[in-house]
């Protein structure tokens, strides 16, 4: 089963993001540039090797949680939790670069 962005994040976080987007609706190219330049460093420093692998398979490889679990010999819930924790760690790390 594939999760949508609204299922992957807390509704309060989504509401906060929507409010922030409304306030910051001007030109955000510089913020996006900073975010993209800091992302590889944050992935390397903040995530465990297994989290990096799962994140790479999910977002770069386009694999489902089920396919990742089968490939790595893990439970689907382990992969799902790992993805959620990885995204949360990256969010906490990168929110200050905005």
pLDDT reading at 24 higher than 70: no
CB distance 63 to 71 below 8 Å: yes
Best CATH choice for the domain 28-97 from the list 3.40.630.30, 1.10.10.10, 1.10.8.50, 1.10.1740.10:
1.10.10.10
pTM: 0.66
- Sign of the dihedral defined by the CA atoms of residues 74, 65, 60, 10, in that order: negative
Distance of alpha carbon 34 from alpha carbon 94, whole angstroms: 9
Q: Residue 36 corresponds to which tokens in the numbers above?
A: 């993209």
The domain limits of the chain are: 28-97
pLDDT reading at 1 higher than 60: no
Distance of alpha carbon 13 from alpha carbon 17, whole angstroms: 6
Angle, CA of 83, 86 and 92, to the nearest 5°: 140
Q: What is the pLDDT of residue 6?
A: 47
């Amino acid at each position: 089963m594939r999760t949508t962005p609204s299922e992957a994040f807390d509704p309060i976080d989504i509401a906060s993001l929507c409010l922030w987007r409304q306030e910051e609706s001007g030109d955000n190219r510089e913020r996006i540039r900073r975010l993209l330049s800091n992302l590889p460093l944050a992935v390397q420093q903040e995530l465990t090797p297994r989290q990096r692998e799962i994140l790479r398979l999910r977002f770069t490889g386009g694999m489902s949680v089920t396919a990742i679990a089968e490939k790595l010999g893990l439970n689907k819930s382990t992969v799902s939790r790992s993805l959620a924790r990885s995204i949360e760690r990256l969010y906490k790390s990168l929110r200050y670069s905005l």
